[in-house]
Each structure stands twice: as C-alpha cells, then as structure tokens.
Amino acid sequence: MIIARSPLRISLGGGGTDLPSYYREHGGFLIAAAIDKYVYVTAMRPFTPGIYLKYSELERVDSASQVRHPIIREALEMLDFKKPQIEITTLADIPSGTGLGSSGSFTTALLRALCAFKRRPVHSQELAEMACHLEIERLGEPIGKQDQYIAAYGGITCFDFNPDNSVGAKSLDIDTDTLHSLEDNLLLFFTGFSRSASSILADQKSRTRKNDAAMLNNLHYVKELGLRSRDALEAGDPTLFGELMHEHWEHKKKRSGGMSNPQIDEWYALARQNGAIGGKLVGAGGGGFLMFYTEDRERLKESMAVVGLEEVRFRFDFEGTSVSVR
C-alpha cells in the first residue's frame, strides 16, 4: 500500500496575490506555513481490474474518463492510467471548505501517490506545478498557486509568483525564538461555517482582469503588507507581525461583501478586546478558521470558549508532501 500525506496550510501575509489574474501583470508575493493537519491518500492494486474509489462517495468504474470526482479523473488521465487496476482512498484531519487549502493538499497528495504507484520520482517543484496545472488549467478553478506549493514544499515559505508563471520559493529566515513565538501565540478557532472559496475568488479574478482600480490597489497594498510581515518576522518582531495581520484583515474585508459577516466581526472584536494583537479569517474568507496572534494565550482562549469557539492546536510541518510504501 502507498500512503501519501500533504499538510494543510495557513497564510501569514500577501494572500490573494497568487492568482494568475494578478501576478501575470504585477507579480505576487506571500508567506505561507504548512501545519501538522493532513490530507491522506492511499493507493493500492486490487485483485481485479478497474478503478475503485473511496472518498465521501464510493465509485467503481472501468476507465478514468468515467470517474465522477473531477480531481481524481484529471489526475488519472494526466498520468496516463490507460488500463487501470487501482484502489484509491482519501482521508483528512479537517473537513474541506474551512480555508486551510484542502483542495491543493488533496491534489498534491493524490499526484504523489499516483506517481509512486507508477514508480515515477517527482520533485516538490514539479509536484506543485502538476497540481496547479490540474486545478487551474484543466479544471478551470479560479484559484491561486499558494495551496499546491506550500503543500508540496512544507515549512514556512516565501513565494514569489512571477509574470512568466514561474514561482520562486525560499524558506522564511527566522530564528528559533521567533519560530516558537509563532507556534505558541498563533491560535486557530473554527467558526462552524464551511464555504467554497470559488465564488469569492471568481469575483476577485473577474475584477482584477477588468483592471478594477479598487481591487488592484487592495491587492498591491496586501502584497506590500506581506513583504513587511516577512521583514518583521525575519527581524524577530512577531508583535509587529500581529499588528500587520490586523491591518491585512481590515483591507482584505474590503475585497468582497462575502469576506466576513456580522457574527465573524463580533468574534473578531471580542478577540481584540481579549489579547489578540491581530487576526483574520484564513483562506478566501466567508467562514472556516479565525486565526489570531496574541501574547495572552489563555485570556484569548477563555474569551473564545465563552462564545463556543474551540481552539484547534497545531505545529508547523517542515516535510511537505511525503509518501511511504507499506
């Protein structure tokens, strides 16, 4: 049995500038961090020919073109499974639609498992590009490249998204104390709302392509905040990073009316009154996880618990997408 594992992620600055509609004209930059919550894909050879799938549904078909799950169908066709005899199962630590990049993590884990099944080596850069090609080009999803790249690479990584479609990756250069401060003082709380990022990102894509001045200026500023966040963390100043995260959220909300809602705004204000220096909704917005940076962890946890929000503990993942054979 082949077991592939891809980490989920949080964004630490510059989110939204990884969409092709923006970076192909202006270049994008963001910081993302892989966390120790995972999507798993197993692949094995069954006794009889065909494709056997176990995810939220069950499928048994004879060819890749008959597969209903779009990502699995495209992955099998990309990797030329012409006479398939394979069983694929998927699992995840956290449900999809919660803003932690689960689709990109699933795609990288699936491709890594299928490459291992075919005994094909694949580097992190190639894996990320394959996943981006599948989701953005083949399926036409209005998404960026952040999720696939951070899942493939792992760590806390700065990405440059260049107009020529190339992507540069470099580990954030922080000391051990700053790393521990981030792990100890970044808190995640599930809002109870799940959502699809597609509608919010489709609106951003459309307005960016039309050179909407408000959207472009917002993304330019968010990119600058991402660069300043990198500088703050590399200078060993996580408190300034928290302040920049608050500034980022105030600008991010202006991109779309669906980015937040009165309940999320109320929780955010409560967190700020109880020790949160800054925070935001992780991902495209509209639901999922609230993330805060605080230097009074217990006070913030208690205030969130009163309104029914429970912390989801995490550590950073520095391995990226991995595979084992058993």
Per-residue pLDDT tens digits for 194-244: 765 565 566 666 777 777 788 899 999 999 999 999 999 999 999 999 999
CB contact at 8 A, 52 and 66: no
Percent of the chain with pLDDT over 90: 84
Taking alpha carbons only, the member of 214, 125, 108 closest to residue 170 is: 125
Domain with CATH 3.30.70.890 in the chain: 176-306
Rounded to whole angstroms, the Cα distance separating 87 from 25 reads: 42
Rounded to whole angstroms, the Cα distance separating 32 from 94 reads: 18
Domain with CATH 3.30.230.10 in the chain: 2-173+317-325
CB neighbour class for 31 (10 Å; exposed up to 12, middle 13-18, buried from 19): buried
Fold of 176-306: Alpha-Beta Plaits (3.30.70)
The CATH class for the domain spanning 2-173+317-325 reads alpha beta
Answer yes or no: is pLDDT of 55 > 80: yes
Taking alpha carbons only, the member of 133, 157, 163 closest to residue 145 is: 133
Taking alpha carbons only, the member of 276, 211, 198 closest to residue 241 is: 276
pLDDT tens digit string along 110-124?
999 999 999 999 999
Answer yes or no: is pLDDT of 192 > 80: yes
Decide the pairing of beta strands 50-54 and 85-92: parallel
pLDDT of the residue at 95: 87
